[in-house]
Chain A
Amino acid sequence: MKRIDHAEGSSKFIKAKDHLDFHDKRLWDLRKKRDRESEHLPEWEELRSLASAIKEHTLTHLADYLEEFERNATRNGAHVHWAKDAAEHNQIVFDLMSARNARTLVKAKSMLTDECEMRPFLANRGIEVMETDLGERIQQLDDEPPSHIVVPAVHKLKTDVARVFSENIGTDPKNSDVHYLAESQRQHTRPYFLTADAGMTGANFAVAETGTVVVCTNEGNADLSVHLPKLYIASIGIEKVIPRIEHLGVFVRMLSRSALGSPITQLTSHFRAPREGTEMHIVLVDNGRSERLGMSDFWYSLKCIRCGACMNTCPVYRRSGGLSYGATYSGPIGVIIDPTFNLRKYSSLPFASTLNGSCTAVCPVKINIHEQIYKWRQIIAERHQLPFVKQEAMKVAGKVLSNPKLYRAAVEGAGAGIEHLPRFLMYSRFNTWGKQREVPEAPPLTFRQWYLKNRGKK
């Protein structure tokens, strides 16, 4: 499988300056809104500790809680299915639909179904899948994966949406008024809700104590997807289970504050049992999660509640765009999850980080994201998954840094070198560092020279 080249993907994104500037600004705006909310709650840090502890408790007792969830969901009249991997998940969904002669599926946003690449699987078997979240629908119509786990089309400008909608749902290509575009999607989608054979959601939380599926949304599309068709399917990653209803208080208080900077999503829906005369099916999906649980350095990533705060704060993500990661999950959380799916394919991603730790600081469940990024780099280097240039540079750096004399000579030489090096050497295509940067002026003395001169004689 081809290795994803994050730098190459980013360079495409960076070329479109108006897109880049808007993307950077919009996501930083979400980060600032998140700050305002968290600073407003005196118990914010305590909530983070609680959320982290509840998740760690649950994950270290996960099998018991999954069984409890299954028991209660079954008692409620729902049917629980288990899928080892993406293929089994997709097959279960298809079988449920085809056994009931269901041909159309209205669905709410679910990163898990993107992870499983469910849409093409069903489409190839004659099932029409309608994404009903506005951002996800834009991406579906443009044949692109979501670029962000909360705002899937955040890399697009309204003019892009006007193009996509005019080509697909017959809007005026010259009209890029956001109200017009959103209203057009509402009008276009409504008939699908009224007639669909089946509806689908993901889940933000699955409560073991009651067998409840909790879905946090803003648009009303998840509820419309569930309350109209006769068949409701919820696809849930096994790490989404939490022990009790009262724990929702902790997570719901932090989810939308972290994601969008609003105190709660417009809708927090609790689906416990099918309504009269209909069916509710729950597919619990592993797809690599149980394996990740056994990785002593990396199992903490399973605490993730998919708020996207780490993406919004990440300077690399904001300036490279989600699609440059070439994976379902992008940004800092993607960087630590994706290599568990395929180390070789995603081996460049842990290098898409400055290791500034901002992701860790904003994470509502206290995942040590930047430390995990660093650990992935070590593993990738050990397993020789580094690109050749980086490997050679590291070898030289290793030698120089481990030998004080060599190091001093290099530092003194570099100062002189920077002043006298011809520009074509500094800013050539072999030195990617010089692509968008100017080297600062070198100080007249190295630190060691300065120290010996000023303090060394005492």
Chain B
Amino acid sequence: MSSRDDILARVRKNQPPPQPLPAVPTFDADIDSPLDRFKGAVLRMGGKVADPPADGDLDALIGRLFPDAKVVCSATPEVTGNRPIADARAPADLDDVDVGVVRALFGVAETGSVWLTEAEFRVNTLGFLAQHLVVLLDPSRIVANLHHAYHERAQFDARYGVFMTGPSATADIEGVLIHGAQGIRTLTVVPIAPLPN
């Protein structure tokens, strides 16, 4: 008997009497402003929020936020940067990126998370090898809580998808919180609707 069949047979034999599967409510609560709730949660998780530029010039905004950045690599056509992501032949090529830019599909007010998949990153390591990440988010695409987030069922057909919430972090030594553990050191959300077209 293969290990597979052996394990499944033993599991079947030992399963306790069947229990029903409960329905899960979405726990809707009245939220005055999902955007304000979202911003508060981002800050709590160590992230930052930047107001969208009045003149719409996102490249200039990134220049102001990261004056020392040498390599800016954008996965969204809304920001030009100076390193075309199409030039990356292998995931490791993004190791020298100072600032990565990406547009998220939606945000979660409860936790301050943004949802990103391989389609937005184009190269997944953009969100992890870059020192800093700037995330554009349509303020009208913020859901109340994680139940609603997981009801965006089609999103989970992506090969890879991630809820990113603030920068990478660790508190493994004496509980001292460090932002910038192994991945991005800062995460800045810019609430801005995508350009029409």
The answer for the CA separation of A103 and B122 in the assembled complex, in Å, is 28
The answer for the CA separation of A153 and B20 in the assembled complex, in Å, is 40
A223 and B15 within 8 A (CB): no
Q: Is B183 an interface residue (CB 8 A)?
A: yes
Per-residue 0/1 for A76-112: is the Cβ within 8 Å of any B Cβ (1 yes, 0 no)?
A: 1000001110001000000000000000000000000
| B26 CB contacts on chain A under 8 angstroms | 249
Q: Is B113 an interface residue (CB 8 A)?
A: yes
CB closest chain-B residue, reference A26: B175
Q: Is B178 an interface residue (CB 8 A)?
A: yes
List CB contacts (< 8 Å) of B2-48 with chain A: 2-4, 6-8, 10-22, 24, 26-27, 29, 41, 44-46
B16 and A182 within 8 A (CB): no
| B153 CB contacts on chain A under 8 angstroms | 245-246
Per-residue 0/1 for B95-128: is the Cβ within 8 Å of any A Cβ (1 yes, 0 no)?
A: 1000000000000001111000010000011011
| A178 CB contacts on chain B under 8 angstroms | 173-174, 176, 178
The answer for the CA separation of A248 and B91 in the assembled complex, in Å, is 29
B173 and A62 within 8 A (CB): no
The answer for the CA separation of A272 and B156 in the assembled complex, in Å, is 8
| A186 CB contacts on chain B under 8 angstroms | 180-182
Please pick, from A22, A154, A263, A274, the residue contacting B41 in the complex, using a CB distance under 8 A: A263
| A210 CB contacts on chain B under 8 angstroms | 156-157
Please pick, from A50, A223, A248, A290, the residue contacting B162 in the complex, using a CB distance under 8 A: A223
The answer for the CA separation of A273 and B26 in the assembled complex, in Å, is 28
Which one of B57-65, B75-83, B144-152, B188-196 is at the interface?
A: B144-152
Please pick, from A49, A60, A134, the residue contacting B15 in the complex, using a CB distance under 8 A: A60
B24 and A247 within 8 A (CB): yes
A182 and B8 within 8 A (CB): no
Whether A293 contacts B15 in the complex (CB less than 8 A), given A182-B170, A262-B45, A270-B160, comes out as: yes
CB closest chain-B residue, reference A162: B173
Q: Is A418 an interface residue (CB 8 A)?
A: no
| A195 CB contacts on chain B under 8 angstroms | 92
CB distance from B127 to the nearest CB of A (A): 7
Q: Is A271 an interface residue (CB 8 A)?
A: yes
Whether A290 contacts B159 in the complex (CB less than 8 A), given A53-B19, A151-B172, A218-B168, comes out as: no
B128 and A220 within 8 A (CB): yes
Q: Is A194 an interface residue (CB 8 A)?
A: yes
Q: Is B49 an interface residue (CB 8 A)?
A: no
Q: Is A161 an interface residue (CB 8 A)?
A: yes
A274 and B159 within 8 A (CB): yes
B45 and A227 within 8 A (CB): no
Q: Is A348 an interface residue (CB 8 A)?
A: no
Name A's interface SS.
helix
| A294 CB contacts on chain B under 8 angstroms | 10, 13-14
A158 and B164 within 8 A (CB): no
A190 and B128 within 8 A (CB): no
| A57 CB contacts on chain B under 8 angstroms | 18-22
A61 and B168 within 8 A (CB): no
B180 and A153 within 8 A (CB): no
Q: Is B54 an interface residue (CB 8 A)?
A: no
| A223 CB contacts on chain B under 8 angstroms | 124, 127-128, 162, 183
B11 and A220 within 8 A (CB): no
Q: Is B69 an interface residue (CB 8 A)?
A: no
B3 and A272 within 8 A (CB): no
List CB contacts (< 8 Å) of A32-80 with chain B: 42-43, 46, 49-50, 53-54, 56-57, 59-63, 66-67, 76
Q: Shortest 6 CB-CB distances between A and B: which pairs? A: A220-B183, A294-B14, A220-B168, A135-B172, A219-B181, A249-B147
Seed contacts A134-B173, A223-B124, A245-B150; 15 additional CB < 8 Å A-B pairs: A54-B21, A57-B21, A63-B11, A132-B182, A135-B172, A158-B173, A219-B170, A220-B168, A228-B92, A263-B41, A271-B160, A275-B124, A294-B13, A294-B14, A299-B14
Identify the B interface with A (CB < 8 A): 2-4, 6-8, 10-22, 24, 26-27, 29, 41, 44-46, 91-92, 95, 110-113, 118, 124-125, 127-129, 145-147, 149-151, 153, 156-176, 178, 180-184
What are 24 contact pairs spanning A and B, CB under 8 A? A43-B27, A57-B22, A84-B7, A138-B172, A178-B173, A179-B178, A182-B172, A182-B178, A190-B95, A195-B92, A210-B157, A219-B168, A219-B169, A220-B182, A223-B128, A227-B125, A228-B125, A247-B24, A248-B146, A264-B163, A267-B165, A272-B161, A290-B14, A293-B14
